[in-house]
Structure 1
């Protein structure tokens, strides 16, 4: 038997350890190749696909992320495999195998796994690349889908990149084993373990860090998020580390002092073993918990923006179609009747029609953004009519001599108009003193550039003020709201085409902004799903590695327990508890971190996102539970005593 055959036999005999690493690596290669296949596709490279440049940049950034993540994942897996085989290498050395021969054996094994991962990953990438192209082409609304092709650049980049990655990690592992002494290798699995001890100070620090991070995340606002983001992340990560390395041990010691629980059936064995396992697995649980929080936060954020892309647009631009005319008697280049005729021909029903007459007036804003700008002065009646049916607005009641500033950006917490401040409006040589009743946020009509907002005054005062304004200075706003406007984007385009070309720049519709937002958010969702699932598979595989590195020791322990009278069902119950906690704790901690991240996002967007967050967390928990069932089944199958 030569070295290549021996390496192949070793892989076959230890396949239960390699399978998670192989599948994770294969999925990384597959995603990397599909992203590269789109980037280097001739139709994309030649600029034939609209908005392809933006997608190329995003996918290229994701490729870099995949390579960096794969580097650390393969590094971790190499150390995990090395730990389980140190005794084997020690025996081989004792039987006369030289270190160079062991290095050759490791090289063949690792490179076989690497070549198999790259080959299967590229094959799967080719198989699914057509579906990936179809999905992106649909999101980009191209006239025809991308043709199936295997770009040589993507193929070469994937093969060279991942083979270099596997080679570097193999050489690193060979160097690590080559420096070890025989006695160290033989005793690697029998190093004495000290009883785990928790520091009260570090346990308190874990509680303090997590509590502070959660409090800042819960109370932050748009104004403070840039300042508090890094402290929140730092406190949460540091608190998570000490939660698993210190607080978990303290909690288990507390359980051991609860005699009613500790001495009940098999709890004595399970909790005693758990104290050592939590200490041994603390760093793995910490890394997987942080990865879980990243997956849940990123996926939830992308999903929220995808589901609310239309709502975000409508909060700033509530009217489906709008245009303005300067002067009451200006020549009608567009005309509301022409617009309504096109809408009727396209069977688009009107939900609301607006005609608002106002005038632009100078206005000084308060706060840190104090500046001279212009606002559109309108009546209280016109504002309430425009705000009717908009969920985030309430009717205004304005007393004579008072006014309210309406700012169209609802999610802004910037204070631009203080309550009780005084303003003077100049109209054709006459001054009108107004006391401001503060500001309201959220658009009720479409505003672009100047005027920056609306100055809403009492109806009687509005009539007096507008009576002093010449007709040619008045601004007439026309707005049209369509029922189910998201289904009538093509109709809006036909309305634009019906208007004389020189007048089209006056016509505005948020439908084009919505279409662009929907396209980018859908692309982000698609790409985010790939990357998030890659992170999920890799993080779950880390738990798999950790579990199987301790398989032989666990098997010996369970055999000893069965020899002193413990039944198979009791041993299985202990195993279920220990494996279940290994997979459950990262989900619980990651979900807690993500929940406070969702609260921060809800504060920034001024909206309720808990239903979206709950859905993402539920899907993640189901996937993790499925991975737990598969891992438990494989683990039980390898336990010789069971």
Structure 2
């Protein structure tokens, strides 16, 4: 038997370990190739597909992420394989094989696995790239489908890149083989384990860090995000590390003291073995927990923003089409009759229209110790309440001589004025003083115009001011809400062309903003799903590797237990609990971390995002459950096969 045959036999014999690593590597290569095939697609490079240029940079960034992540994942996997085969290497050394020959055998094994993974990844990527291109073409709304091609540069980039990656990590792994002595290799699985210990101070530190991190995350808003983000990440990561390295042992040791629980059925075996397993695998579980939180947070954020786009735009653009004009009936931006006629000609039905006239004024505001003037738009409480009622917002009651300040941006919770403060409005006819009743964040008019910040006054007092103000010093806000506005893009685009170039800043539409934002977020979600799924497969594989690197020790323990009368049913129950704990504890920790991340996101968006976040949570939990069932089945089969009655 030569080294090539020996390497092939070792791969077949260790396929239960190589399998998860191999398919995870194949998936990494597949995603990398598909993204590279689009990046290096002739139509993208030549500019024949202008709409695709906006996501080319995103895919390039994803390729870098895949390579960096694959490096650490493969390095971890190779190290896990080496540790699980120390006894095998010791026996081969005892039979006369030199360290150089062992290195050559391991190198051949990894080269074979690498070539197969790259070949399978490119083959699968080529098969599914057409579907990927079809999905992109639909999201980009291009007139013709993206041509199916297999770019030679993409193939070469994938082959050279991943083979170099595999080779580099293999060489790093081989360095460990040469440093181990025969006696160490043979005794690798026989080393006695000390009772896991913990530091109560580190347990307390873990709790303090997590509570502090969660508290800060709970308080994050758009205004303090930059200030709070890094402390939250640092505290959460540090707290999670000590939670697994110290807290897990603390909790299990406490459970051992509860005799009613500890001595109930097979809990003694389960808890005793978990005490060692969680301590030994603490770093791996820590990494999986953080990885799960990253996957859930990233996927949840993109999905939430995609689903919440409509609500956010409805807040900032209450009407489908809106424009602001200086002067009554000046029609500098657009003639309302022409707009309504265009809608009718194109078969677009108008739901309602808004005409809100008012007076632009300047009011002194103290910001940073300096007094500056801010432009407000004085409107009647009747006009304001009409729009507030339509939008489901509270109506106002304003007395004469009083006013309510309406700040346009709901997500920015700043306070420009305080209740009871006197505001001096500089009108053309003189200065008028108002007592401020309240400040409300979130306007009923489009937020993009200069007159979006409102000062709501008593109706009779407003009429007096309007009568005393020349028409040319007044402003008018026009708004038009159309039915099925998501499908009215061609008509809205036609109307937008009628607006003079110098008045473009005074015209706004929700339709185009919605379609552009929705398209971008859909593309981000579409691209991110593959990377997130890659991270998910890798995180599950890390747990899978750990289970099978310790399987010989577990088999020996269960063989001993069967000799003293433990049944197959009890073994199944014990194994299910242990494997379930290792799979689902990181999931639970990741879900808790992500829940606070979603709370922070909800604070920034000023929106109820939990229904959307729950969808992501449920999907991830179901996927993890399927992975757990598959791993448990394979693990159980190996354990029961080696149990001796």
Range of TM-score over shorter length:
over 0.9
Distance 2:126 2:555 in 1: 42
Report the counterpart of residue 591 of structure 2 in structure 1. 591
Distance 1:153 1:365 in 2: 60
SS at match of 1:419: coil
Deviation, structure 1 residue 303: 0.7
Report the counterpart of residue 537 of structure 2 in structure 1. 537
Deviation, structure 1 residue 68: 0.8
- Could you give the per-residue CA deviations for residues 483-535 of structure 1, whole angstroms, max 9, x where no partner exists? 33223223322333566888777542121111111111101111121111111
Do the aligned partners of 2:291 and 2:539 also contact (CA within 8 Å) in 1? yes
Report the counterpart of residue 378 of structure 1 in structure 2. 379
Alignment CA distance shift 1:523-1:364 (3 Å): farther
- Could you give the per-residue CA deviations for residues 429-459 of structure 1, whole angstroms, max 9, x where no partner exists? 4111112223212231224352351222111
Deviation, structure 1 residue 143: 1.3
**Between 70-79 and 507-516, the greater mean CA deviation after superposition:** 507-516
Q: How many residues align?
A: 641
Residues 237-316 of structure 1: pairs in structure 2 closer than 5 A? 237-316=237-316
Do the aligned partners of 2:51 and 2:140 also contact (CA within 8 Å) in 1? yes
Distance 1:4 1:463 in 2: 94
Do the aligned partners of 2:289 and 2:586 also contact (CA within 8 Å) in 1? yes
Deviation, structure 1 residue 330: 2.4
Alignment CA distance shift 1:267-1:395 (3 Å): same
Deviation, structure 1 residue 350: 2.5
Deviation, structure 1 residue 219: 2.3
Residue 24 (structure 1) aligned with residue 24 (structure 2): yes
Deviation, structure 1 residue 232: 1.0
Deviation, structure 1 residue 301: 0.8
SS at match of 1:355: strand
Report the counterpart of residue 566 of structure 2 in structure 1. 566
Deviation, structure 1 residue 21: 0.5
Do the aligned partners of 1:408 and 1:443 also contact (CA within 8 Å) in 2? yes
- Could you give the per-residue CA deviations for residues 546-597 of structure 1, whole angstroms, max 9, x where no partner exists? 0000111111110110011111111111111100101110111111111111
Report the counterpart of residue 550 of structure 1 in structure 2. 550
Report the counterpart of residue 168 of structure 2 in structure 1. 168
Distance 2:185 2:97 in 1: 14
* TM-score between the two structures when normalised by the length of structure 2: 0.96
Q: Which runs of 4+ in 1 moved over 6 A?
A: 498-505
Alignment CA distance shift 1:53-1:366 (3 Å): farther
Report the counterpart of residue 60 of structure 1 in structure 2. 60
Report the counterpart of residue 101 of structure 2 in structure 1. 101
**Between 564-573 and 434-443, the greater mean CA deviation after superposition:** 434-443
Do the aligned partners of 2:379 and 2:455 also contact (CA within 8 Å) in 1? yes
Do the aligned partners of 1:316 and 1:410 also contact (CA within 8 Å) in 2? no
Report the counterpart of residue 179 of structure 1 in structure 2. 179
**Between 99-108 and 223-232, the greater mean CA deviation after superposition:** 223-232
Report the counterpart of residue 613 of structure 1 in structure 2. 613
Distance 2:501 2:605 in 1: 37
Do the aligned partners of 2:324 and 2:449 also contact (CA within 8 Å) in 1? no
Distance 2:142 2:621 in 1: 36
Deviation, structure 1 residue 411: 0.8
**Between 253-262 and 484-493, the greater mean CA deviation after superposition:** 484-493
**Between 45-54 and 472-481, the greater mean CA deviation after superposition:** 45-54
Do the aligned partners of 1:50 and 1:140 also contact (CA within 8 Å) in 2? no
Distance 2:612 2:326 in 1: 44
Report the counterpart of residue 190 of structure 1 in structure 2. 190
Report the counterpart of residue 451 of structure 2 in structure 1. 451
Do the aligned partners of 2:107 and 2:170 also contact (CA within 8 Å) in 1? yes
Distance 1:35 1:355 in 2: 50
Report the counterpart of residue 404 of structure 1 in structure 2. 404
Alignment CA distance shift 1:109-1:406 (3 Å): same
SS at match of 1:330: coil
Report the counterpart of residue 208 of structure 2 in structure 1. 208
**Between 235-244 and 218-227, the greater mean CA deviation after superposition:** 218-227
Alignment CA distance shift 1:471-1:529 (3 Å): same
Do the aligned partners of 2:327 and 2:476 also contact (CA within 8 Å) in 1? yes
Distance 1:258 1:424 in 2: 71
Distance 2:347 2:384 in 1: 28
- Could you give the per-residue CA deviations for residues 241-271 of structure 1, whole angstroms, max 9, x where no partner exists? 1111111111111111111111111111111
Report the counterpart of residue 387 of structure 1 in structure 2. 388
Deviation, structure 1 residue 160: 1.1
Alignment CA distance shift 1:366-1:350 (3 Å): farther
Report the counterpart of residue 50 of structure 2 in structure 1. 50
Do the aligned partners of 1:367 and 1:417 also contact (CA within 8 Å) in 2? no
- Could you give the per-residue CA deviations for residues 591-610 of structure 1, whole angstroms, max 9, x where no partner exists? 11111111111111111111
Report the counterpart of residue 467 of structure 1 in structure 2. 467
Report the counterpart of residue 485 of structure 2 in structure 1. 485
Report the counterpart of residue 351 of structure 1 in structure 2. 351
SS at match of 1:62: helix
Report the counterpart of residue 83 of structure 1 in structure 2. 83
Alignment CA distance shift 1:329-1:578 (3 Å): closer
Report the counterpart of residue 413 of structure 1 in structure 2. 413
Distance 1:615 1:505 in 2: 39
Distance 1:333 1:291 in 2: 52
Do the aligned partners of 1:27 and 1:121 also contact (CA within 8 Å) in 2? yes
Alignment CA distance shift 1:178-1:594 (3 Å): same
Distance 1:405 1:365 in 2: 13
- Could you give the per-residue CA deviations for residues 79-137 of structure 1, whole angstroms, max 9, x where no partner exists? 10000111111111111111111111011101111111111111111111111111122
Do the aligned partners of 2:323 and 2:333 also contact (CA within 8 Å) in 1? no
Do the aligned partners of 1:126 and 1:150 also contact (CA within 8 Å) in 2? yes
Deviation, structure 1 residue 626: 0.2
Do the aligned partners of 1:50 and 1:142 also contact (CA within 8 Å) in 2? no
SS at match of 2:508: coil
Do the aligned partners of 1:403 and 1:436 also contact (CA within 8 Å) in 2? yes
**Between 521-530 and 503-512, the greater mean CA deviation after superposition:** 503-512
Report the counterpart of residue 579 of structure 2 in structure 1. 579
Distance 2:364 2:61 in 1: 43
Unaligned runs of 5+ in 2: none
Deviation, structure 1 residue 56: 1.0
* TM-score between the two structures when normalised by the length of structure 1: 0.96
Distance 2:500 2:236 in 1: 58
Distance 1:233 1:447 in 2: 33
Do the aligned partners of 2:446 and 2:452 also contact (CA within 8 Å) in 1? no
